[in-house]
Structure 1
């Protein structure tokens, strides 16, 4: 986290980008067990993931009501949506992807100046390397996040500013620049293993020339389609916890590609590290809908993500309360 937390690692793995440039077969430690190996292509979606027009969502007429109904439907079905009408020029979004790709094309010694290993052995979230996160000044307009959070609160029967008001000056935003090099065995290797986000909400700008993102719905993996100049927005574990399970944080993964590299940029919006995540009291009913999740500090939850992710489990399962 940005507070400088570091993890001791037993063995330093090779950086995947450099490894991929010199091998024809993925090393054994990257190979997924046979029973867990992914299909390179996901299933066809039973219906398209709705595209939400944020300009209509923020309007004050009948268009807003119909767009809000569409938002409710897609969040209940998928937990994520593709957003247009966000006010960002296609040239800007294209430049973000180009700059991201340009960084990864730099010589290794230049990229290593931003290594996420302290003294060559202590792992931290920020920096270049495997599971790399780079924190920079906010790139995507906060008004997008504010608008979506306001509408999520409204859908849950809360005051529109309920979630936005939780984001004070100590709230954290993480920018994660992802690079997925070409892989000789995409049917044996994940780009990013199945997980859900520890954020409250995530906004991503994805490569509009190479697919690879898949989302899990009712036990089936579906390819998320490419819609040029659209942003991908999904609720995170924070919203699932605060909504007491009424809205679900989608499980997703990234596939590798044998022919082309892929890049993306994701912005993870989280609360003040010292704030506690817990179900909103108004959404808890001892008889009809008892509390589903225990209370946990944001910083502990984010730290738990990295520890459970390494084991292939979900951190949200560690705070679920068993209902007997």
Structure 2
């Protein structure tokens, strides 16, 4: 199937009609909520449904030759254009000889995790070849001309171990992200080799092995940064579940209207991110200003996630981040989330050892299933998922 045939004639007509309606009714960038209220001819639900049924994602739009961003991808201007700063540099922590330099490295991890929640690691033990092959696999999968092969993985069934789609919250979010994603649920119960797309059939298991190994080292460092035994967080099953989210950000014809990934914090304990070598776009929020997190050769990005802030009783800081859209592309990344969503009845609360000095708990205990359900609800912009669980 040719790339520009990803959409049927009816689907192309529906999408083009919506684009035309938008351009005829406004000559400036307007708030999308106001726009949808004032333009009665716009059928957002039908446009999203037509797009989703192509199973071609944002890449399908680009391959079809669109020159304007569909309206359901348009974000309010103030969410894209906002204050930024170049004063903060993301720390790079050299993990070479981690066992002999452990005290020094723990202190650096502690400082970064307590203050900004973001840091990079160098000499982390993951071979460059493995990282390169993982990024190459994303491009091969997304660029595959055999649309039938790719579409068989397109799904919104969260129980699947391998799932490809565009925006997990496409039907519920105020505006969609300019991004396609292939998800692998690699732990505790990984997919069979035959369930994995051909492009990933070898590399995803090798990559996950290295992620699990690095993740366990990071848990030791984070445990000691909290003044706990090295295996404390591992024993709490903070690396029980591993999800690898392979993101593909196609070039965007109007990056001033769209965003690659909207502002969010991660739901689990921490995330290991492999970034595209050459295309930037990742930003983290610090003191209400956006800070660029550019790619660094050979480095991986680590960010603290919500549940680690909860169980550390606010000692370690989760952080909101986003990815900007760009006319360059495709931009590729792999986010490995360490979480425990596969033990829905597991209870997490502030670690008792951290309260031994008389510190009051900031959060109540929460069951994983409750936390996940709340995290996936839509909250007013700026409201953390953690606020709901504060005492």
- Per the normalisation by structure 2, the TM-score is 0.71
Give how far 1:302 is off.
2.7
How big is the shift at 1:244?
0.7
Please give the root-mean-square deviation of Cα atoms over the aligned residues, in Å: 2.7
1:7-156 alignment runs, 5 A limit: 12=49, 14=52, 15-21=57-63, 22-38=65-81, 42-44=84-86, 46-56=87-97, 58-60=98-100, 63-107=101-145, 108-117=147-156, 126-131=162-167, 132=181, 133-136=183-186, 137=205, 138-156=208-226
Where is the helix percentage greater, Structure 1 or Structure 2? 2
Which structure's relative contact order is higher, taking Cα pairs within 8 Å and 6+ residues apart? 1
Structure 1 regions of 5+ residues with no counterpart? Answer: 1-8
Per-residue deviation at 1:87?
A: 1.5
Alpha-carbon contact 1:74-1:80 (below 8 Å) kept: yes
Quick one: distance in 1 between partners of 2:267 and 2:366?
Answer: 12
CA distance in 2, matches of 1:309, 1:86: 36
Q: Which moved more, 1:27-36 or 1:239-248?
A: 27-36
**What is the Cα deviation at residue 139 of structure 1?**
4.3
CA distance in 2, matches of 1:182, 1:135: 27
Stretch moving more, 311-320 or 98-107: 311-320
Q: Deviations over 1:236-288 (max 9, x none)?
A: 111100001111111100111112211111111112333112111222379x6
Q: What is the alpha-carbon distance in structure 2 between the residues aligned to residue 307 and residue 219 of structure 1? A: 23
- My pick for the range that moved more, 193-202 or 136-145, is 136-145
Q: Name stretches of at least 5 consecutive residues in structure 2 with no aligned partner.
A: 1-44, 168-180, 187-204
Does structure 2 conserve the Cα–Cα contact (< 8 Å) formed by 1:128 and 1:134?
A: no
Q: Is the contact between residue 195 and residue 309 of structure 1 (CA under 8 Å) also seen in structure 2?
A: no
In structure 1, the residue matched to 2:19 is none
Query: 1:199: Cα distance to partner?
Result: 1.2
Which of 165, 184, 187 is the aligned partner of 2:235? 165
Change (3 A) 1:127 1:29: same
- Of the three residues 277, 291, 301, the one matched with 1:222 is 291
| Residue number among 295, 298, 318 corresponding to 2:388 in the alignment | 318
> What corresponds to 2:304 in structure 1?
235
- Contact kept, 8 Å, 2:304 with 2:319, in 1: the verdict is yes
What is the deviation of 1:177?
A: 0.7
With over 3 angstroms needed to count, the CA separation of the structure-2 counterparts of 1:17 and 1:28, relative to structure 1, is same
